């Protein structure tokens, strides 16, 4: 990995006793502060998401000119970084410099591939983000409502700018495959309402705080209704027409990044970005095949344990069709997920010395996106404490949400997975770009590693649940195979579905939804297994080196306190931790 040498130099710098100069440190931290402030102003909805309310009445600017303007600004940041003398920074700031510079260079590279033209995926888009905005904001004062009304009135401009980008994507051939986008138009039409009270955007106005006078409440409701019906709904209608009349007719008949302009090079860039390694797509593919073979063997051991008379395919069919493995109601599924999460809460002190202050809750995935989206996901809380983290569970299509995978799913999305890791990072004193950002390979690698931690604290005692854990691990190994297969090696969508169905107990609906996700989000799915394998490798290294002195709680605390770093940096962190523990 090319990153290895650069980051190693940073972590070893402390041992070299290089002189630290205050002016150089001040100059570098000014770059970090300026960049963060720029990001908050440029992306006001993200600022609101983090609890920064200074721009709560504004929406992002998203036109093609805005994309070019931001790209030029990023180049200027890189030029400022070039003037910093790395050797004059502390070891800590040298690492911050390397991480920040890598992010800047990554953004510049992504822009050269016109990554900004992909402003929708089969499960995402600006119109979906806007519709979910009320659930991410706090409404406690009159100003909160007036700010939101300002955003409602600004939506036509924001929507038009994004539509401009979509039109450019159509012209240049940066469109997704038809099959993967089937039904996407419903994510738009859901918000074209005739009754304003059925709009998700009106939800904050249904029940307002008593501290706001009744006449003011009536005024705010009237303004909100007018903005939604006169501004927002027509904007959604315009997007619906653009999507159905222009985007859909131009969708790709084949799947894979290799069919986009300069597609193979673009995918190689995505592999580097999401794995933080220099592995080629072919090398990732081979690693995936190797993991599939290993996990398949462990699955067969479970089949023998339960005394099932048949092979892997027969056992998978049994799991997919037997009613005992599925909840009868959404409430049952949500209740079981809640019980698992609460049980793990009580086990966390066995695994960690330091736990986050921020709480988390469990919620249902919104109906307008549920059938096309994943089985569950995590939404981080606000650092200012105004919003807890949430583990969202998909309660649609219950016959495709098996209970035997619920333990691993909950451990991944809630604790000790995403909530614990992301909440801890937000409570550090790291620079903001590390507290609230970071690398997918660490975030998702940790989530998959967290699933396995259940084996050490009393989970997966039911062999069917353990098979579910293995199926989820297999799912992430299969991603290495099918993502590279479709985007680089010419696999069809059906090939990917068939390969996953043959090797996983996931429902066919989940498999299809996942494959469509990979088609429209190339490379992202590679992060999970890549990161998890590295964390497991580093833990084994530490256990061997330290023997009886290995402290699992201290190990976990160490790798989490640095935020979501590239795996090469994580390797150096663990190596230095081992040396420190030995001495």
Residue 345 · residue 374 · CB < 8 Å: no
DSSP count for the chain of H helices, then E strands: 26, 5
Tokens 């981080």 sit on residue:
380
Q: What is the pLDDT of residue 366?
A: 87
Q: What is the pLDDT of residue 510?
A: 87
**48: Cβ contacts below 8 Å, ≥ 6 apart:** 55, 56, 133, 136, 137
pLDDT digits (tens, 9 = 90+) for 497-511: 999 999 988 888 889
Residue 566 · residue 102 · CB < 8 Å: yes
Number of residues assigned to the chain: 583
Torsion, CA 408, CA 412, CA 414, CA 417, rounded to 10: 130
Residue 541 structure tokens: 């290294």
How far apart, in whole angstroms, are the C-alpha atoms of residue 384 and residue 192? 34
Q: What is the mean pLDDT of residues 553-582?
A: 97
Q: What is the pLDDT of residue 368?
A: 76
2 pLDDT above the threshold of 90: no
Residue 59 structure tokens: 């929406």
What percent of the chain clears pLDDT 70, i.e. is strictly above it?
Answer: 97
pLDDT digits (tens, 9 = 90+) for 412-442: 999 999 999 999 999 999 999 999 999 999 9
Q: What is the pLDDT of residue 19?
A: 60
Q: What is the pLDDT of residue 12?
A: 39
pLDDT digits (tens, 9 = 90+) for 337-361: 999 999 999 999 999 999 999 999 9
Write down the domain spans for the chain. 2-113, 120-253, 266-531
> For the chain, what is the mean pLDDT?
94
Residue 404 · residue 397 · CB < 8 Å: no
Q: What is the pLDDT of residue 7?
A: 43
pTM: 0.92
Distances (CA, A) of 92 to 87, 240, 428, 440, 473: 12, 49, 14, 22, 35
Q: What is the pLDDT of residue 383?
A: 86
14 pLDDT above the threshold of 80: no
pLDDT digits (tens, 9 = 90+) for 222-278: 999 999 999 999 999 999 999 999 999 999 999 999 999 999 999 999 999 999 999
Q: What is the pLDDT of residue 374?
A: 82
pLDDT digits (tens, 9 = 90+) for 26-70: 999 999 999 999 999 999 999 999 999 999 999 999 999 999 999
Q: What is the mean pLDDT of residues 299-326?
A: 95
362 pLDDT above the threshold of 90: yes
73 pLDDT above the threshold of 90: yes
Q: What is the pLDDT of residue 155?
A: 98
The CA-based angle 463-469-470, given to 5 degrees, is 90
11 pLDDT above the threshold of 70: no
pLDDT digits (tens, 9 = 90+) for 181-233: 999 999 999 999 999 999 999 999 999 999 999 999 999 999 999 999 999 99
Return the SS3 of 183: coil
Q: What is the mean pLDDT of residues 550-566?
A: 98
Give the DSSP H or E segment for 454.
none
Residue 481 · residue 528 · CB < 8 Å: no
Give the DSSP H or E segment for 360.
strand 360-364
């Amino acid at each position: 990995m090319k990153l290895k040498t650069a980051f190693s130099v940073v972590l070893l710098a402390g041992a070299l006793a290089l002189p630290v100069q205050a002016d150089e440190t001040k100059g570098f931290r000014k770059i970090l502060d300026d960049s963060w402030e720029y990001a908050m102003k440029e992306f006001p909805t993200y600022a609101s998401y983090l609890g920064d309310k200074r721009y709560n009445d504004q929406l992002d600017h998203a036109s093609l000119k805005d994309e070019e303007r931001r790209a030029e600004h990023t180049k200027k940041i890189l030029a400022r970084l070039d003037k910093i003398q790395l050797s004059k920074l502390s070891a800590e700031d040298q690492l911050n410099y390397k991480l920040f510079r890598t992010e800047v260079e990554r953004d510049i590279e992504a822009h050269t591939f016109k990554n900004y033209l992909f402003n929708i995926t089969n499960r995402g888009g600006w119109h979906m983000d806007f519709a979910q905005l009320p659930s991410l904001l706090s409404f406690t004062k009159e100003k909160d409502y007036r700010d939101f009304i300002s955003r409602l009135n600004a939506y036509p401009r924001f929507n038009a700018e994004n539509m401009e980008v979509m039109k450019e994507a159509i012209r240049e051939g940066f469109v997704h495959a038809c099959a993967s986008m089937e039904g996407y138009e419903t994510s738009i039409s859901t918000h074209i309402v005739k009754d304003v009270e059925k709009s998700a955007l009106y939800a904050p106005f249904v029940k307002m705080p008593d501290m706001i006078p009744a006449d003011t409440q009536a005024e705010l409701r009237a303004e909100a209704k007018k903005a939604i019906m006169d501004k927002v709904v027509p904007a959604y209608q315009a997007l619906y027409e653009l999507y159905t009349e222009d985007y859909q007719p131009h969708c790709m008949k084949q799947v894979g990044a290799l069919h986009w302009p300069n597609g193979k090079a673009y995918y190689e860039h995505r592999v580097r970005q999401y794995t933080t390694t220099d592995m080629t797509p072919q090398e990732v593919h081979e690693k995936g095949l190797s993991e599939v073979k290993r996990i398949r063997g462990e699955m067969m051991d479970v089949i023998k344990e339960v005394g099932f008379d048949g092979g892997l395919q027969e056992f998978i069919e049994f799991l997919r069709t037997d009613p005992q493995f599925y909840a009868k109601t959404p409430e049952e599924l949500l209740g079981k997920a809640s019980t698992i999460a609460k049980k793990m809460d009580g086990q966390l002190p066995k695994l960690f010395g330091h736990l986050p202050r921020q709480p988390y809750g469990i919620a249902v995935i919104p109906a307008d996106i549920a059938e096309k989206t994943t089985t569950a996901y995590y939404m981080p809380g606000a650092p200012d404490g105004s919003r807890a983290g949430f583990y969202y569970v998909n309660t649609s299509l219950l016959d495709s949400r098996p209970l035997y995978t619920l333990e691993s799913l909950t451990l991944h999305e809630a604790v000790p997975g995403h909530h614990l890791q992301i909440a801890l990072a937000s409570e550090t004193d790291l620079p903001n770009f590390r507290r609230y950002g970071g690398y997918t390979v660490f975030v998702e690698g940790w989530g998959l590693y967290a699933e396995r931690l259940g084996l050490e604290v009393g989970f997966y005692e039911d062999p069917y649940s353990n098979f579910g854990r293995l199926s989820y691990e297999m799912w992430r190994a299969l991603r290495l195979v099918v993502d590279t297969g479709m985007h680089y090696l010419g696999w069809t969508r059906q090939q990917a579905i068939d390969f996953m169905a043959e090797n996983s107990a996931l429902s066919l609906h989940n498999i299809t939804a996942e494959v469509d996700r990979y088609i429209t989000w190339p490379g992202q799915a590679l992060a999970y297994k890549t990161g998890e394998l590295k964390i497991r490798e580093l833990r084994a290294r530490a256990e061997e080196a330290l023997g009886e002195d290995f402290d699992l709680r201290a190990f976990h605390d160490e790798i989490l306190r640095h935020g979501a770093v590239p795996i090469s940096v994580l390797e150096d962190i663990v190596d230095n931790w081992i040396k420190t523990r030995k001495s």
